[in-house]
Amino acid sequence: MFDRTYVGLDVHARSIVGCALNIDTGEIIRARFEDDLLGVSAWVQGFPAGVRVVYEAGPTGFGLARHLQDAGIDCVIAAPSKLLRAPGDRVKTDRRDARILANMLALGEVVQVRIPSQEQEALRDLSRARQSASADHAHAKQRVNAILLRHGILYPGKSRWTREHVTWLHEQHFQDPALEYAFQSNLEQQELMNMRLKRIEKEVVRVAVDCQYTEVINALACLRGISMVGAFGLATEIGDWTRFTGASIGSYLGLVPSEQSSGESRSQGPITKAGNTYARHLLIEAAGAHKRPYRRPGITELRQLELVSPATAARARQGNQRLHDRAMGFEERHKMPVKAKTAIARELAGWCWSLAAPLQEGHPMAAQ
């Protein structure tokens, strides 16, 4: 039997292929299971103590990892984007993938994905339902706008999708029956998507008031541009803020410049866009709010500040002032708006971390 065993699993919806590697002897044992979690755990438990298991994050979720951990087995999930593969490797099979995972785990080259609890995953699913509803609503509005634009019909007002704009849309008609049906169908779809989005956001606000992330959500919502829905999304997507530092949170969210350096040359490009896409989107959206004048908190902000401790409130106000000053500095230097907003989003991520991480560490916030 093995003295030290590393197990790689290639997991699919209806099958699991396992490869167990003894790092001392190089001995390999393979197995295949047909959607049998109990069989997988029994096979892994057949090896001596000290066995470690890894599989890639994917659409099958975290059920297998939770099952193995409940059985007392050390299981980690690998980030697929961080797995190393030779450029010349053109053969990909389940057996080879399991072997590669076992090798990387033995070498300590696996970048782990956090395994959320079932409650945390449920909250994140609710947040992502809101994200998909928002995207569907935006696409529905684009289709309505596209039909009008193709036929040279332009809204005379300045702001679209206001009450006046919606009234104007219902006044538009086409002589061709097929075109009229298509336009009315798209307009109806937009209204249905709008109602769906509002229902989900109402549920998000209801859940956010009393969940395990409530304290963090209330703190994040003290920063300008981050609504209760946005704070819920950030809290559920990041989960454990203590994994990061104020410097590393921006890198995790893909808000740092990409780089191509070799020898004496150093070239930086667009942001990496690594990590969580939805959390990055929420921060970039929120960054635009910091261009607005900020002399003192508004009524909404004051009400939100009352929900947190005095130290957290002071820290949030400090962050709001700092981010506004940064936005004004970029404006005075005529910085490209897209770059300025991205830079503000990166710093906003750090302020979010400074509010959330101390709360999760369980000690009072100390204003800095």
> Exposure pattern of 96-109 as b/e (b: 16+ CB <10 Å)?
ebbbbbbbbbbeee
Give domain status of residue 55, yes or no: yes
pLDDT at 364 > cutoff 60: no
Classify residue 366: in a domain, yes or no.
no
Q: What is the pLDDT of residue 128?
A: 96
141 and 222 part of one domain: no
**Same domain membership, residue 198 and residue 231:** no
pLDDT at 4: 82
Q: Is residue 367 part of a domain?
A: no
Q: Looking at residues 310-321, what average pLDDT do you find?
A: 95
Do both 95 and 157 map to the same domain?
no
pLDDT for the residue numbered 3: 60
Looking at 190, 208, 226, which one is the last position of a domain? 208
Instruction: Tell me which of 113, 142, 158 is where a domain ends.
Output: 113
Residue 368 has pLDDT above 50, yes or no: no
Task: In whole angstroms, give the CA distance from residue 329 to residue 358.
Answer: 29
Which neighbouring-strand residues pair with 77?
Answer: 55, 113
Cα 292 to Cα 20, 226, 269, 325: the distances in Å are 58, 14, 28, 10
- 223 and 338: one domain? yes
Residues 142 and 184 in one domain: yes
Weakest mean pLDDT among 38-52, 138-152, 207-221, 351-365: 351-365
**Rounded to 5 degrees, what are φ and ψ at 47?**
-90, 160
The tens digit of pLDDT for each residue in 199-209 reads 999 999 999 99
- pLDDT at residue 66, as a whole number: 96
Residue 16: how many CA atoms within 13 Å on its side-chain side?
24
| Strands laid side by side in the 52-56 sheet | 28-33, 16-22, 5-11, 52-56, 74-78, 112-113
CATH number, domain of 20, equals: 3.30.420.40
Work out the mean pLDDT of the chain and round it to a whole number.
Answer: 93
User: Residue 294: which residues within 8 A CB-CB, separation 6 or more?
Assistant: 224, 320, 321, 324
44 or 49: whose pLDDT is higher?
A: 44
Counting the structural domains of the chain, the total is: 3
Is the model's pLDDT at 365 over the cut of 80? no
User: What's the CA gap between 9 and 18, in Å, rounded?
Assistant: 4
pLDDT category at 93 given cuts 50, 70, 90 is: very high
- DSSP three-state, residue 274: coil
In whole angstroms, give the CA distance from residue 134 to residue 114.
Answer: 26
Residue 260's domain spans which residues?
214-361
Q: Work out the pLDDT band at 298, boundaries 50, 70, 90.
A: confident
Among the residues of the chain, which ranges form H helices?
A: 37-45, 63-70, 94-107, 118-150, 163-170, 177-208, 214-220, 228-238, 248-252, 277-287, 299-305, 310-332, 337-361
Joined tokens for residue 51 = 């066995």
Angle between helices 118-150 and 277-287 (to 10 degrees): 60
Q: Which residue has the higher pLDDT, 264 or 10?
A: 10
Nearest 10 degrees: Cα torsion 32, 34, 37, 42: -40
pLDDT score of 367 more than 80: no
* The residue type at 153: I
- Pairing type for strands 257-262 and 5-11 reads unpaired
pLDDT of residue 362: 67
Kindly list the distances between the CA atom of residue 358 and the CA atoms of 166, 281, 311, 353, in Å, as whole numbers in the listed order.
45, 24, 11, 8
Please tell me whether residues 22 and 103 are part of one structural domain: yes
Shared domain for 314 and 229, answered yes or no, is yes
- Judged against a pLDDT cut of 90, whether residue 35 lies above it is answered with no
For Cα atoms 266, 267, 270, give the angle at the middle one, nearest 5 degrees: 150
Within this chain, do residues 162 and 228 fall inside the same structural domain, yes or no?
A: no
Proportion of the chain above pLDDT 90, given as a percent? 85
Which residue, 120, 356, 348, 122, is CA-closest to 241?
A: 356
pTM comes to: 0.90
Report yes or no on 368 lying in a domain.
no
What is the arithmetic mean of pLDDT over 79-107?
91
Indicate whether 106 and 193 sit together in one domain.
no
- Write down the pLDDT at residue 49: 81
pLDDT by residue (tens digit) across 134-192?
999 999 999 999 999 999 999 999 999 999 999 999 999 999 999 999 999 999 999 99
